[in-house]
Amino acid sequence: MQRTLYPLDSETRSKIRSTQILTSIPQIVSELVQNSLDANASQINVGVDIVEWECWVYDDGTGISKKDMAILAKGPMEGRYGSSKAYEINSLNQLSTFGFRGEALASAADICCLEISSRTKAAGETWSVIVKGGKSLHYGPAIRWRRDTAGSVVSVRDVFYNLPVRRRVHPSASKSLEIIKRDLQCFSLVFPHVSFTLEDAAKDQSNHSRGKVLSIPRTTSSLEAFRSTFGKPLAELL
Ligand SMILES: Nc1ncnc2c1ncn2[C@@H]1O[C@H](COP(=O)(O)OP(=O)(O)OP(=O)(O)O)[C@@H](O)[C@H]1O
Ligand SMILES: [Mg+2]
């Protein structure tokens, strides 16, 4: 039977693209941590609750201005391709930041509930946006995650709530935590001057949060960072 070719509607296109950019919670955490590193953070705290499909990254980086937050609040359609790291096509081979597409947060806004709370050095208050499934739910003073100093908290809840297939094939909670731990350890080798923590916020049977599962202090060199993670004997072999 002859089939007719027809264009996908723009919402479907956006959703398919978003799920290619963000495929799992460890991948989302990695994108958020890369954003914090691009914002020159020196302290990055990661929290995850895989059971509740939630993760967040707290940093002390430069923060995001109200004006830029307004663009992010537009969601996956109009907000996509908004990047402060925009490169010319012929200078893409000279990247100095992880980000270059302006797609990670727009994708999170499409297939999760994305909340960004941020404060720049010049701002007098913490501003926040909440976008879920492409719909802007809040743009105004922060309700939670309010802060006295510059930095951002990007919190992602209801991950893949509208993409059951991604949930079905998602790695287990323990595997996901292992991947996130390994990623943070790798980042710490390249950014020894940054300290990282990882909190497992999933509740155990007595309803207590599992707590801090990783703490990587800031060090003065990659070798020091390696020693702190892998121990002295292995560091001496390097
Ligand atoms: N933690 C953060 N601190 C400061 N600015 C941030 C932070 N996270 C995001 N931003 C701002 O939001 C913009 C959009 O972030 P997003 O991750 O979607 O795109 P990107 O990093 O520019 O590119 P890519 O999609 O390749 O990651 C960034 O360009 C940056 O200006
Ligand atoms: Mg990014």
What is the domain partition of the chain in residue ranges? 10-171
Q: Which amino acid is at 197?
A: T
Nearest to 139 by CA among 125, 151, 131, 128: 128
pLDDT tens digits, the chain, 238 residues: what are they? 788 988 999 888 888 999 999 999 999 999 999 999 999 999 999 999 999 999 999 999 999 999 999 988 887 777 777 778 766 777 767 778 888 888 999 999 999 999 999 999 999 899 999 999 889 999 999 988 888 999 999 999 999 999 999 999 999 999 999 999 999 999 999 999 999 999 999 887 676 767 989 999 999 999 999 998 899 999 898 8
DSSP string for residues in 67-125: HHHHHHTTHHHHSTT--TT---GGGGGG--SS--SS-HHHHHHHHSEEEEEEE-SS-SS
What is 10-171's CATH number?
A: 3.30.565.10
Distance 1 CA to ligand 1 centre (A): 46
Nearest to 120 by CA among 60, 74, 42: 60
Alpha carbon distance 233, 236 (integer Å): 5
What is the structure's pLDDT at 145?
87
Ligand nearest to the CA of 153: 1
Alpha carbon distance 49, 211 (integer Å): 11
Q: What is the three-class DSSP state of 144?
A: coil
Ligand nearest to the CA of 57: 1
60: its two tokens: 């002390």
84: its two tokens: 């402060």
Q: What is the pLDDT of residues 220-235, one digit of tens each?
A: 999 999 998 899 999 8
Alpha carbon distance 154, 31 (integer Å): 11
Distance 185 CA to ligand 1 centre (A): 21
What is the structure's pLDDT at 87?
67
37: its two tokens: 């590193």
Distance 35 CA to ligand 1 centre (A): 5
Alpha carbon distance 175, 189 (integer Å): 22
Residue list, ligand 1 pocket, CB within 6 Å: 31, 35-36, 39, 59, 61-64, 68, 83-85, 99-106, 152, 154
What is the structure's pLDDT at 51?
93
